[in-house]
């Protein structure tokens, strides 16, 4: 079961995510993002149902990673990883919504590199 502080943190991140959503019309990425201990970094994008995103990241120290979106008063987290230094995959949007890709450092600071790339629609 998730703690109340974790749920509150996801809610705050989601609120921050909704301020300026953008379309993921071109690849996005960055390298050398410094994460202090327990710091959070996220990138959010408005995706339409069926849109696909290829994502990849690597970090110097283990981080927690998730992709989430709102559903009324709830937060849906279709992908979550704990204590990983790298991960990647493909997300297909279940619904038209703002999806947030979120990384959180643990007790150890880290450097993050990530890539988000829109994929062509499947026919």
Q: Residue 13 sits in a domain of what CATH number?
A: 2.60.120.680
- The predicted structure's pLDDT at residue 1: 44
Strand, coil or helix: 26: coil
| CA-closest candidate to residue 37, choices 63, 19, 16 | 63
Residue 13's domain comprises: 4-119
Strand partners, 29: 115
Q: How many other C-beta atoms lie within 10 A of the C-beta of residue 98?
A: 18
pTM of the model: 0.82
CB atoms within 10 A of CB 70: 18
Only one residue has tokens 């890539």, namely 115
Domain count, the chain: 1
Q: pLDDT by residue for the chain (123 residues), tens digit each?
A: 445 554 444 454 444 444 456 888 899 999 999 999 999 999 999 999 999 999 999 999 999 999 999 999 999 999 999 999 999 999 999 999 999 999 999 999 999 999 999 998 776
């Amino acid at each position: 079961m998730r703690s109340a502080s974790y749920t509150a943190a996801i809610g705050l991140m989601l609120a921050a995510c909704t301020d300026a959503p953008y379309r993921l019309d071109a690849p996005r990425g960055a390298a050398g993002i410094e994460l202090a201990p327990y710091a959070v970094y996220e990138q959010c994008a408005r995706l339409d149902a069926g849109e696909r995103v290829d994502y990849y990241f690597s970090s110097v120290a283990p981080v927690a990673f998730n992709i989430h979106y709102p559903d009324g008063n709830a937060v849906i987290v279709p992908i979550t990883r704990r204590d990983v230094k790298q991960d990647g995959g493909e997300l297909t949007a279940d619904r038209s919504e703002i999806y947030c890709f979120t990384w959180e450092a643990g007790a150890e600071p880290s450097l993050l590199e990530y890539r988000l790339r829109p994929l062509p629609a499947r026919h």
